[in-house]
Amino acid sequence: MSTPARRPGSLRLRRLGRCDYGLVFAAMRTFTDCRDDTTLDELWWVEHPPVFTQGMAGKPEHLLAPGDIPIIQTDRGGQVTYHGPGQLVVYCLLDVRRLGLGVRALVSALERAVIEFLAAHHITAQARSAAPGVYVVDAKVASLGLRIRQGCSYHGLSLNVDMDLEPFGRINPCGYPGLRVTQLRDLGINLDLNMTAEELLPCLGRQLGYADYAAIGGLP
């Protein structure tokens, strides 16, 4: 597999800490609507309070017993997923037209980054062409969901680090009944969210062709 061409400029890595999903969702849309040809690409990393999010194709029958966890309708692709404390979420605010990436190529780049990260910890993982995400044996450790608008992407990926997996049992994760999920802790990788982000985000950058990074904080 060829190495992506090196990109000019820096990829901005924006740390948001723990932040409400609705606030970040609105900020992603605003950022995408306001960006122009000179806007730098950004990866936003965040931890959300418990929330279920439905993709545009989401079917209500995949919400089995949400209980007191809120459900938010989003404009990303895919079905329902869960976000919560102990999960690293990385939103990809990218000019994909400028990067020369189609949707499938972008999805593959994100999957390869997670697979590269896991391989560094001696965990063999794989992607599935019919069901985007990253899997260890038959359990999903990372989920993907994207939206492309005006040649730019937002939404992104979530990686289960060290969390309560029980809420995944209240849904059919990503629309697949009985789909098993796992997390880094259960795979023997003992990293917190900050350490995970420090390792994963450069993997993502490399897959996108970036070598230079600028760390910033807070919503734009």
**Is there a binding annotation on residue 38?**
no
Neighbours of 20 (CB within 10 A): 14
Distance CA 74, CA 84 (A): 16
**Is there a binding annotation on residue 24?**
no
**Residue 34 appears among annotated catalytic residues:** no
Of 92, 152, 174, 203, which is the active-site residue?
A: 174
**Is there a binding annotation on residue 129?**
no
**Is there a binding annotation on residue 62?**
no
CB 165 within 8 A of CB 140: no
Structure token pair of residue 65: 């017993």
Q: What is the DSSP string of 42-70?
A: EEEEEE--SEEEE-TT--GGGB---TTS-
**Is there a binding annotation on residue 81?**
yes
**Is there a binding annotation on residue 80?**
yes
**Is there a binding annotation on residue 121?**
no
Structure token pair of residue 202: 């450069």
156 CB-side CA count, 13 A:
25
**Is there a binding annotation on residue 16?**
no
CB 182 within 8 A of CB 141: yes
Going by the annotation, the residues of the binding site for substrate are: 76-83, 143-145, 156-158
Residues designated as active site? 174
Going by the annotation, the residues of the binding site are 76-83, 143-145, 156-158
